[in-house]
Structure 1
């Protein structure tokens, strides 16, 4: 495995870095640029998106024939990390969750006619999406088999009834992917559907308040009471809902890691800038051995996370599912983001705890990393089961 970058990718990385520093980061300290949920206002995002498109930095992960840059997963790892040096970078380049995972998945499974209807508007940045799987009150979370939202066949349509919650981006989303129960089969009992926000028979019950800053559209609770979805808007075959979920979440979990590494590196930048200038007992903080240990430890953990992420990305590019590699990256990078933010706040003292920097924003945002797309404990369980099944082969070299 050779993780050195080709010149084309390196040139693209530099252009993304320059754009983030010149166009996005200067807007971070102006509170008038923020909405009530601590994200950039839509008007600010729209203006930045226009600039990104004009600069040829739109949709790294999307096919060239549809307006993207067509990089592979390894290339995504490089560019997503650079984009997320600002927490508002990914949405500007159209590689933010949940849309990036949805677009990647739909590009794999839709036919050309369906792509024009459902995918292209997302690629063009005209609409946003949401992925409706998680349920309240005994329903599914990390265990999809507990899904109780039902889809009942009625001629050429499906009638949907049930509830979903913590659906990221649901408020204001136009395109939805819905996972619903179509039978009691433990492996083939779920089916995936597409529906449009303008269809009747469903509603956003509430935008759920959370501890940290939110993505655009928040994290919402949805109610379905007779939503009618034509069978032509079913994804793959009846009973393939779990397959659709796996196609979407595999790469999506890894793209989280890519972005979190960018945020972790930003924390290091903020801390380094402060300790190199702040005086304490006759020297800068950076000259104190204890401070050096803290910075060095975080730097090490970030680099380990980058290697885990890049290995998983490389394996996905080879056609491997990279199940255990993604699980390892997800666990480690989630922990690393929290550690980087916590360490940076500690080193910056009261300034880090204040809103004069992004550190407290990132710190609150980081807490969700150990929960989203599968809690860390679930991924550890996956690794344990794989190890018990494979034993020594769990650590085999790829030949």
Structure 2
């Protein structure tokens, strides 16, 4: 592949870097910039979103005719990495999970009427959204075939009963994509639906406390007690729920990697600035061989993650599902993010462990990377199956 970015993507990347450096990073040091869940405060967020929109940096993943920037996945990879050099970055540009993945899948599979009602407000930034799939044990987690939430046909619609948990963004969402069981067919037993926060007979049971800083809307437990969804709000065909999930998660998993690489790079930016100035026993820390090994190893791992992510992005742009490429990137980059920020904290010492830098914020956030959108062990299982099926062609250049 050609590693030169298209001019459109390169221009956006440069503009995003400037915005992050000049506007976002200075705000991270101000306590007034944060809400009670350690994310960017809503009044400030709305101001910054207006500024990003006015500078043509809004919704990079969406087509121009829908108000976005029409980026390819390769262009997104470079730009999302730049965005998340700030812990505030992706949500300011309307490129944060779960809205990011929801917008992309609705653009791919929704009807024109559904796009106008359910997608366009998310693109415009007037509402937020959530993807409702994961369930408490013994329900569906990494194995969707264990789905226990049901949608039963009733007249011209569907009635939903069940419970979900760790639903990202639910407390702030207006539009929801729901995956529920509609039959016992092992391959075609799930279907996808759209519902609104004001629809009756469902509720948020609780916002689940987590160790890290939270996305807007947190991670919630949800209960359905007869939620009625008109059939016109069904996505794709009956039985296509697993297919929709696979369509959504392919690119969405990779956008996590893109953003995590930005946080990994920012961690090393903070560390290199510190060791370049800090002296110990007559030498700058950066002059010590042990420090050089730590920095060099972390920098190399970030570059490996970038190459895996960009290769998967390129394959997605060619129309390939890139399942094994996305899984490899997901596992590698999740580990790399943790290594980069852990290295940075170690080199910065007590300063890194304190809240004088965002490193401790990134460290707590990083632990979820090996869990979300499929645990690393599940992705390794996927890779193993591919290896057993493909043999030597697992490493095919095509």
Normalising by structure 1, report the TM-score: 0.99
Structure 1 partner of 2:237: 237
Matches within 5 A, 1:18-29: 18-29=18-29
Alpha-carbon deviations, 1:303-358, whole Å to 9, x = none?
00000000000000000000000000000000000000100000000000001100
Q: CA deviation at 1:6?
A: 2.5
Q: CA deviation at 1:113?
A: 1.8
Q: CA deviation at 1:78?
A: 0.6
Aligned-partner Cα distance in 2 for 1:310–1:348: 30
Secondary structure, counterpart of 1:215 in structure 2: coil
Aligned-partner Cα distance in 1 for 2:12–2:324: 30
Structure 2 partner of 1:391: 391
Secondary structure, counterpart of 1:3 in structure 2: coil
1:100 aligns with 2:120: no
Q: CA deviation at 1:23?
A: 1.2
Aligned-partner Cα distance in 2 for 1:185–1:8: 45
Secondary structure, counterpart of 1:188 in structure 2: coil
Alpha-carbon deviations, 1:235-269, whole Å to 9, x = none?
10010000010011000000000000000000000
Structure 1 partner of 2:56: 56
1:66 aligns with 2:66: yes
Structure 2 partner of 1:273: 273
1:179 aligns with 2:157: no
Aligned-partner Cα distance in 2 for 1:79–1:337: 17
Aligned-partner Cα distance in 1 for 2:395–2:373: 25
Aligned-partner Cα distance in 2 for 1:139–1:92: 34
Matches within 5 A, 1:187-266: 187-266=187-266
Gaps of 5+ in 2: none
Cα pair 2:6 2:75 within 8 Å, conserved: no
Q: How many residues align?
A: 398
Alpha-carbon deviations, 1:135-185, whole Å to 9, x = none?
003000100000000000001010000000000000020000000000000
Q: CA deviation at 1:95?
A: 0.3
Cα pair 2:74 2:313 within 8 Å, conserved: yes
Task: Output the aligned Cα RMSD.
Answer: 0.6
Structure 1 partner of 2:378: 378
Aligned-partner Cα distance in 2 for 1:322–1:109: 19
Structure 1 partner of 2:121: 121
Aligned-partner Cα distance in 1 for 2:361–2:384: 34
Secondary structure, counterpart of 2:152 in structure 1: strand
Aligned-partner Cα distance in 1 for 2:256–2:6: 23
Matches within 5 A, 1:243-392: 243-392=243-392
Moved more, 110-119 or 141-150: 110-119
Alpha-carbon deviations, 1:342-381, whole Å to 9, x = none?
0000000000000110000000000000000000000000
Aligned-partner Cα distance in 2 for 1:67–1:297: 41
Gaps of 5+ in 1: none
